[in-house]
A and B are shown apart, each in its own frame.
Chain A
Amino acid sequence: MSAARKPGLAGPVLAAVGPVWRAARGAVRRRRVQTVVLGIVVFCSTVTIVVALGLLESVSAPFERVFAAQRGAHVVAAYDAGKVSAAQLAGGARAAGVKAVAGPFAQAAVTIPDSFEHLPPGPLSVTGRAAPGGPVDRVDLWTGRWPARPGEIVLSRPPNSHFSFLLGVTFTVREGSTFTVVGLAGSVSRSGESWVTPEQAAALRPGILQMLYRLDGAATDAEVRRGTAAITAGLPAGALLGTQSYLTVKRDANRMASTYLPFLTGFGVLGLVVAVLIVANVVSGAVVAGFRHIGVLKALGFTPNQVVAVYLTMVLVPAMAGGALGTLAGGLAARPLLDDVGAGTFSVAVSPWVYAATLAGMPAVVMLAALVPALRARRVTAAVAISAAGASRSGRGRRVQRLLSGARLPRAVSLGLGLPFARPGRTALTLAAVVLGAATVTLATGLSTTMTAYGQAAQRVGYVHTIVQTGQARQRETPPRHDDAVIEALLRALPGAVHVTADAWIDLHLTGYPEPIMGRFLRGDSATLGETLVEGRWLSGPGEVVAPSAFLGKHGLAVGDRVSLSLGRGRAEATVVGVTMDGSADLIQADWQTLTALAPTQKATQYEVRLAPGTSVESYNAAVRAADPGLYPVAKSRTDETTVAVIGFASVLTLLLGTVSALGVLNTVVLDTRERRRDIGMLKSIGMTPRQVTVMMVTSMAALGVAGGLLGVPIGVAAHRLVVPAMADAAGVTLPAFMVDVWHLPMLTLLALAGVVIAVLGAYVPARSAARLTIATVLHNE
């Protein structure tokens, strides 16, 4: 041996490792199918795990991670520049409990004119700041550069290349200053809408001084309030204009991610369990299938430890390759999903620890799965290993086979039904994978059904076909030629219109609450709008309101309660008569006459039109534009973004988990075929046709598929029952019962077949391969 000629420690080590490596390499080459299957299973499992862990991790604390990275401000305070000095603010910064402080930053308001098309018209807050960094609120300048001279401005925008066109854009504000956009940035603390140099801010005559604080204790609203009180304690009365707690920002920012959390948690956990189960099954199967080889190695003089090493090396080669490629592919697969989670509010990426954990963890799982049978191989003698090369025989397996041999079933079917009982351990692992695969399909189907129903209800599909808005001069649109009542009559008179409802969206107050709420007032055929009610009834006249459960919860109201609405000097009393499905906590809907009591001259801002079946929306909209160029009809969207995102997630994860489950089945059939080559050869020699061999092998897994479906469907239904209400709670929506109770017998029956489909898909290819097995050599030589 060449290793033996090497001096020092390397010699004995190489002498021991060399044969192990050669034997393992030989085993890998000899079992190409097994090796490829193991590599593919580890690859798919790794992709699933990276996606699952990435999603779980990102939705569990996305705001917190970005907040920590930016050293976000626990409190953003705005002070009246005329009532407080920088020195006084510095005193507040030394208050007990303040950990870090930034500012004061001068803030001014400028006005974007109507004529500028790239930015929304109206006020824009401008903050003077020398640099994006500092002890608090390290603004993420994701493109461009920070303003270096007057006339340069950085705008606050989410990190999305969609906004990159703004770089270099120049605009003049109504106050006279001209700005060029030199960068785009984001502050998780929402500390500003735009930033300029301090000199530029000073020239804009700022009325506000902004201070940013990090506190020692800021876990709860009460702690933040206490900290804020300590900071502002010594300041002149009226100096503090307002504060913003990071907890408010966090709740708002996490709302989108929280919607996905329960659903992704369900899929993530399923993905992890299925992936680990399949890998354990494949790896242990690979070792068990190599028992005869183990005996041969021992007979050749391999030590027990070397035998273990050969087997661990043999499975680690494809596992490492599959794991590395899977980690890479998982990162790529997770990216578009994470973009949806961030929803433009903040940037989310798979954390490095997920990659590290997967790269190290997957080989560890493989090693552990291989270790148990490898240690068993270590213990057995060479003779036993060689003689035990065939499939192990369990007493239960024999009893079942005996029972089935007398059954009135085609013999290929009854033989197939008995096969799973010959290897109870392998069968249990395969069954578990099929169960979880079927559960995943069930959960995904339930979610898709719920979300499709939700999306249709949210978009009022079939109730409203087009929305007609009136032209606004400030948006450089043509104002309508007709007045409100005439427009409504005109829209009704156009061919194809069945129902027309006029809307006015107005800010008003609920008496006793300082924050404004949004009121939607309806005129015309409002009963035909298709609003989904989860409780109570729709509006039947003046003095009634309907509102979402989030609104009622926030204001401590219930159906039947009276509310008092105010708008300027107008007042109106109304009774809550129904709860709508909407998720808004600040929206009520009421009849037009209720609005008349509040604002008698208010006109409708848009009109919702339902068309007769068969009417072309495009034709109707063209007629609207022809009738009055100041009317802007838009076809009603039929898609809901959350619905699309959830169905997209569910489809991708179901495909991944279904594939992994099917691969687990495929591996089991490959192992069974390998172990039963002699039996299959004999059966073919006595006249079993290739079709019968295929039927036998597919039946062996289809039986597991039936069991997997029967067990997996209830698990999927239970997961749906947990996930859907949790998602609805997170989104602040109360779902009507028909969206939660989506299950019916035909659907459940079809879903129970999901297990069979997974099993048959996984079994078919190796079963066909078994049917084509060349039997001559097997029968004569073994």
Chain B
Amino acid sequence: MNSHHDPGGRLVVRLEDVHKEYGAARALDGVSLAVHAGEAVAVMGPSGCGKSTLLNMIAGLDRPTRGTVEVDGQDLSTLNETGLALFRRRRIGMIFQFFNLIEDLPALDNAALAAQLAGTPARQARDRALELFEELGIAQRKDSYPAALSGGERQRVAVARALMNRPALLLADEPTGALDSRSGEQVMDLLIDLNQIGQTLLIVTHDPELAGRCAGRLVELADGRVAARQSLRLEGTS
């Protein structure tokens, strides 16, 4: 895969000696990480190694016990809850293993929601969502409710929602974990395409194939620490 990052370019994620403890349990133990603009990084490791905790720190969903988390130049420790929400709204897009779509809203409104929360008028938000749906190949499913969509379609809706506000960083938490292999392939291709047009990606996964196909760099966690870092050379890279 072509990871479209410029090694000397803008730093999108900077983690410096990040620790996270839940009581006596240590979820992260001095993790440092840098992700540059346009880069696609996969975070892998066994269950309980701290992958999701790491993702939560970067998304501003949780706060480190100590250490520095900077995303797109913003030190997250300086933000209160509202500031973190606005930060996520403007700079982060998230996709989840179980899609997390609102069942009461049709697909297009699910995606438009992210822009509407930011104050974009409904019509404009729907236009933007429809544009993304067309790019993602699900425009014909815009009026369907999540329950009527396949897993792959749901994840595409989730991706559209994540891209609504043109985020600096797209975080994906096991994005193919709940999909059959065919749908998983489609989502992988989608992530690759996004990265190729410059979208910075950070993917948390158990799946070596997903990491191998979508990411240019792999970070392995074990017991809350970075156990290994490696660049990936994948099929189709130039």
Contacts and interface: CB of A to CB of B under 8 A. Distances in A.
A411 B121 CA distance: 9
Given A687-B90, A691-B82, A776-B56, A682 B104 contact: no
Nearest to B53: A776
A776 B61 contact: yes
A687 B89 contact: yes
B173 A686 contact: no
Interface stretch (A256-264, A324-332, A396-404): A396-404
Interface string B115-128: 01111011100100
Contacts of A398: 104-106, 145
Nearest to A407: B122
A692 to B, nearest CB: 7
B122 A406 contact: yes
Interface in A370-409: 390-391, 393, 397-398, 401-402, 405-408
Contacts of B109: 401-402, 405
A contact patch SS: helix
Interface string B85-114: 110111001101110111111100100111
Contacts of B55: 780
A390 B101 CA distance: 12
B104 to A, nearest CB: 5
A515 interface: no
B53 to A, nearest CB: 8
Given A408-B121, A687-B88, A402 B105 contact: yes
Given A685-B61, A686-B113, A691-B82, A397 B88 contact: no
A617 B167 CA distance: 76
Nearest to A421: B104
Contacts of B116: 405, 411
Contact of A690 (B81, B102, B105, B123): B81
Contacts of A411: 113, 116-117
B12 interface: no
Contacts of B221: none
B52 A780 contact: yes
Interface string B35-59: 0000000000000000011011001
B61 A405 contact: no
B88 A685 contact: yes
A681 interface: yes
Contacts of B89: 686-688
A687 B61 contact: no
B100 A682 contact: yes
Enumerate the 4 nearest inter-chain pairs by beta-carbon distance, A residue then B residue, closest first.
A687-B89, A411-B116, A682-B100, A689-B85
Nearest to B62: A776
Nearest to A690: B81
A402 B107 CA distance: 11
Contact of A686 (B103, B114, B145, B147): B114
Contact of A405 (B52, B62, B105): B105
A642 B119 CA distance: 56
Contacts of B114: 686-687
A687 B105 contact: no
Interface core residue of A408, A411, A687 (most chain B CB under 10 Å):
A687
A684 interface: yes
Contact of B82 (A422, A689, A782): A689
Contacts, number: 106
Interface in A403-439: 405-408, 410-412, 418, 422
A683 interface: yes
Given A686-B88, A686-B94, A401 B104 contact: yes
Interface string A652-692: 00000000000000000000000000110111111111111
Given A402-B105, A408-B121, A684 B85 contact: yes
A324 B123 CA distance: 56
Contacts of A678: 100
B126 to A, nearest CB: 8
Contacts of B217: none
Contacts of B106: 398, 402
Contacts of A771: 81
A687 B117 contact: yes
Contacts of B117: 411-412, 683, 686-688, 692
Contact of A683 (B82, B113, B123, B165): B113
A647 B88 CA distance: 53
Contacts of B162: 686
B99 to A, nearest CB: 9
A726 to B, nearest CB: 48
Contacts of A109: none
Interface residues of B, number: 44
B225 interface: no
B161 interface: yes
26 contacts: A391-B103, A401-B109, A402-B105, A405-B105, A406-B123, A406-B126, A407-B122, A679-B100, A683-B117, A684-B85, A685-B59, A685-B94, A686-B161, A687-B88, A687-B89, A687-B90, A687-B165, A689-B81, A774-B62, A775-B61, A776-B61, A776-B62, A779-B94, A779-B100, A780-B56, A780-B96
A397 B85 contact: no
Given A393-B104, A401-B105, A408-B121, 17 more contacts: A398-B105, A402-B105, A402-B106, A402-B109, A405-B109, A405-B116, A408-B122, A685-B59, A685-B100, A687-B88, A687-B118, A688-B89, A690-B81, A692-B85, A780-B55, A780-B96, A780-B173
A690 B103 contact: no
Contact of B104 (A397, A772, A779): A397
A504 B165 CA distance: 88
Interface in B137-173: 145, 147, 161-162, 165, 173
A158 to B, nearest CB: 62
A408 B121 CA distance: 7
Given A405-B109, A692-B117, A776-B62, A422 B86 contact: no
Nearest to A772: B81
Contact of B85 (A407, A687, A780): A687
Contacts of B147: 393
B104 A782 contact: no
B52 A776 contact: yes
Contacts of A682: 96, 100-102
Interface in A480-531: none
Contacts of B59: 685
A524 B222 CA distance: 102
Interface core residue of A393, A685, A692, A779 (most chain B CB under 10 Å):
A685
Contacts of B161: 686
A401 B161 CA distance: 18
A391 B52 CA distance: 26
Contacts of A686: 88-89, 93-94, 113-114, 117, 161-162
Contacts of B145: 398
Contacts of A685: 59, 61, 88, 94, 100
A401 B105 CA distance: 7
Nearest to A678: B100
A682 B93 CA distance: 11
A390 B103 CA distance: 10
B86 A779 contact: no
A521 B195 CA distance: 102
Contacts of A397: 104
Contacts of B100: 678-679, 681-682, 685, 779
Interface in A426-468: none
Contacts of B112: 405
Nearest to B104: A401
A745 B112 CA distance: 42
Nearest to B106: A402
Contacts of A405: 105, 109, 112-113, 116, 122
A699 to B, nearest CB: 14
A687 B79 CA distance: 13
Nearest to A775: B61
A405 B103 CA distance: 14
Contacts of A679: 100, 102
Interface core residue of B61, B88, B114, B126 (most chain A CB under 10 Å):
B61
